[in-house]
């Protein structure tokens, strides 16, 4: 390879590195703005790290209740992942495990939309985190079957999940299958990120 070719390659690598840095800065800037806009809605007197820790502790506490009730070994949650967008208007999610697949997930991370979490902290702590923990308990008990013609979403919120929610004290868990949170802050975040990325290119 000639010296000129090497120099051209190095120039291209440098340009790519600068572009990637700009992309990262654009995405981080949009996320930071969305969180800063959401923080005033969160409980005062706590840092964002304390609120995240509270969510983790509550999820583990609830899972301990269920594993103890079902006579299962204690399961330590892998963690909670906070993000700005989980896709399809989701507020939170965990991997679903069906008995049809032949194997059940053994490592679980609860993913939470942090923009919504900060704006609706108590709803997450007392509704959405229990919802996801009930899914994990279902998986630890062996998963759930999917009947012919049934969607994954419907099956995941079937008898097994409903029972776990009842065991956590929800008298009408079927009313908590879907969330009714205002998604506009998430859409605004995505729009802002798109505008920032457009400036990069």
- pLDDT at position 184 is 96
- Strands lying side by side in the sheet with 109-113: 79-83, 109-113, 92-93
- pLDDT at position 60 is 97
Residue with tokens 């440098």: 14
Work out whether the CA dihedral 116, 122, 127, 131 comes out positive or negative.
positive
Q: For the chain, 201 residues long, give each residue's pLDDT as a single digit of tens.
A: 687 776 767 888 878 888 889 899 999 999 999 999 999 999 999 999 999 999 999 999 999 999 999 999 999 998 899 999 888 788 898 877 766 655 555 678 899 999 999 999 999 999 999 999 999 999 888 888 888 888 888 888 999 999 999 999 999 999 988 888 999 999 999 999 999 999 988
CA distance 188 to 113: 14
CA distance 104 to 96: 9
Q: Reduced to 3 states, what is the DSSP secondary structure of residue 79?
A: strand
- pLDDT at position 146 is 83
Helices 3-38 & 184-200 angle (0-180, nearest 10): 160
**To the nearest 10°, the Cα dihedral for 151, 89, 113, 66?**
-30
- pLDDT at position 102 is 54
- pLDDT at position 195 is 94
- pLDDT at position 188 is 96
- CA 50 vs CA 57, 63, 171, 181, 182: distances in Å: 10, 20, 30, 23, 24
- pLDDT at position 99 is 67
The tokens for 199 are 């400036």
């Amino acid at each position: 390879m000639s010296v000129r070719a090497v120099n051209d390659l190095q120039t291209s690598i440098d340009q790519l590195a600068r572009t990637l840095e700009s992309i990262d800065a654009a995405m981080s800037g949009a996320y930071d703005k969305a969180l800063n806009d959401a923080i005033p809605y969160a409980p005062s007197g706590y840092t964002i790290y304390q609120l995240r820790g509270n969510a983790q502790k509550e999820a583990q506490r609830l899972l301990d209740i269920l594993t103890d009730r079902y006579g299962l070994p204690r399961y330590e949650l892998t963690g909670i992942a906070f993000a700005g967008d989980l896709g399809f208007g989701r507020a939170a999610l965990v991997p679903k495990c069906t008995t049809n697949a032949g194997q059940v997930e053994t490592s679980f991370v609860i993913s939470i939309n942090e923009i919504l979490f900060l704006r609706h902290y108590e709803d997450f702590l007392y509704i959405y985190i229990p919802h996801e923990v009930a899914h994990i308990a279902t998986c630890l008990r062996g998963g759930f079957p999917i009947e012919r013609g049934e969607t994954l979403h419907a099956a995941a919120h079937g008898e097994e999940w409903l029972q776990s929610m009842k065991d956590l004290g929800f008298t009408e868990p079927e009313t908590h299958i879907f969330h009714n949170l205002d998604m506009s802050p998430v859409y605004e975040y995505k729009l802002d990120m798109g505008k920032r990325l457009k400036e990069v290119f």
